[in-house]
Amino acid sequence: MRRLFALAGTIMMLLWLVGCSQNQNEEEQKAPEIKHTAQDKGHVNLVYVEWSSEVASTNVVRVVLESQGYDVKIIPVSAAAMWQAVASGDADGMVAAWLPTTHGQYLQELGDKLVDLGPNLQGTKIGLVVPSYVTVNSIEDLPAHADQFEGKIIGIDPGAGLMSKTEKVMADYNLNNFKLVSGSGATMTAALQDAIKNNQWIVVTGWTPHWMFARWDLKYLDDPKKIYGGEEHINTIVRKGLEHDMPEVYAILDNFSWTPEDMATVMVWNQEEGADPYSTAKRWVQENPAKVQGWLPE
């Protein structure tokens, strides 16, 4: 009898083990494919200038790279430091190179130490901007109205190529009774907002695309001497060796391209109360799957 019970117990144990094995095999077949984690694919460092346009584009690229399994760090720096970081290999790339005018000097100095992947956005512009109610229409007319502008041109960060171009504009147009006030993109738009609120005259250094053109009625002052240049484009620049080290990252950065309207959408979202640029970039990526898919390698 004991042998019978023992035999029955053994059979039950075997049946249980077989059942567990079958269940395990079924679970393995049903298990979803494990995707790469950020740690699996490596780290990517992107640098950018803290202009509203570049905050938008850099965060969008970050979200796309993270979706493909990369750990991405984005680092705000001055224009000069941005170019130097990519040229030295301390950063992997940037999507914030305004060419041929704004950052042209950096490309000329460092071009042989980095890789220019070409434009990611066409149709940009830089220059001096005033509210539309200001009756001045050309940079040539500024000297006669210095008092109304309080002798100031409101600028952005001192290392920006836009600032160096503005210094040349001031010299070539004899704006000796004006002072270029440095600050940041945020301080420039704050001053603009305050002036418009009080219907005061103000002239600022500006660029397109920028959310301020959607919020206020603004105009560029004519530049007869073409010192600011014509239409610009924003290029993607990467470090040498990236194509070999991280070919998928290189391909995504190379494929990245969008329109001024795309960028403007993200910039406007970023101006909403409590907005977070990373979250708005995620929202844009989620709402534009077809365009994002075109940036991914086949």
Q: Are residues 119 and 132 in the same domain?
A: no
Q: Where are the beta strands (DSSP E) in 155-240?
A: 179-181, 204-208, 218-220, 232-239
Q: Quote the tokens at residue 62.
A: 């970050």
Residue 25 lies in a domain: no
Q: Which is nearest to 270 in space by CA: 37, 56, 34?
A: 56
Query: What is the SS3 assignment for 89?
Result: coil
What pairs with residue 76 in β-bridges? 48
Note whether 116 and 134 are same-domain residues: no
Q: Could you give the CA distance from residue 96 to residue 236 in angstroms, rounded to a whole number? A: 7
Q: Which residues pair with 43 in a beta bridge?
A: 71
**Minimal CA–CA distance to 61: which of 123, 121, 124, 104?**
121
Residues 95 and 148 in one domain: no
**Neighbouring-strand partners of residue 222:** 138
Mean local confidence (pLDDT), 3-10: 41
Mean pLDDT of all residues in 108-120: 97
Domain, as residue range, for 83: 38-123+232-293
Q: H/E element holding 98?
A: strand 93-99
Please tell me the distance from the alpha carbon of residue 222 to that of residue 7, in angstroms, as a whole number: 99
Lowest mean pLDDT among 31-40, 89-98, 123-132, 181-190: 31-40
Domain count, the chain: 2
pLDDT band at 5 (very low <50, low <70, confident <90, very high): very low
The predicted pLDDT at position 230 comes to: 85
pLDDT of residue 92 exceeding 50, the answer is: yes
Q: What is the pLDDT of residue 6?
A: 41
Same structural domain for residues 66 and 213?
A: no
pLDDT score for 38? 45
As a whole-number percent, the residues of the chain with pLDDT over 70 amount to 87
Q: How far is CA 133 from CA 116, 192, 200, in A?
A: 41, 13, 9
Of the residues 198, 220, 242, the one at which a domain ends: 220
Residue 108: how many other CB atoms lie within 10 Å: 10
Number of helices (H), then strands (E), in the chain: 13, 9
pLDDT of amino acid 174:
97
On whether both 92 and 134 belong to a single domain, the answer is: no
Structure confidence at residue 14 (pLDDT): 40
Model pTM score: 0.78
Region 62-74: mean pLDDT is: 98
Q: What is the average pLDDT score of the chain?
A: 89
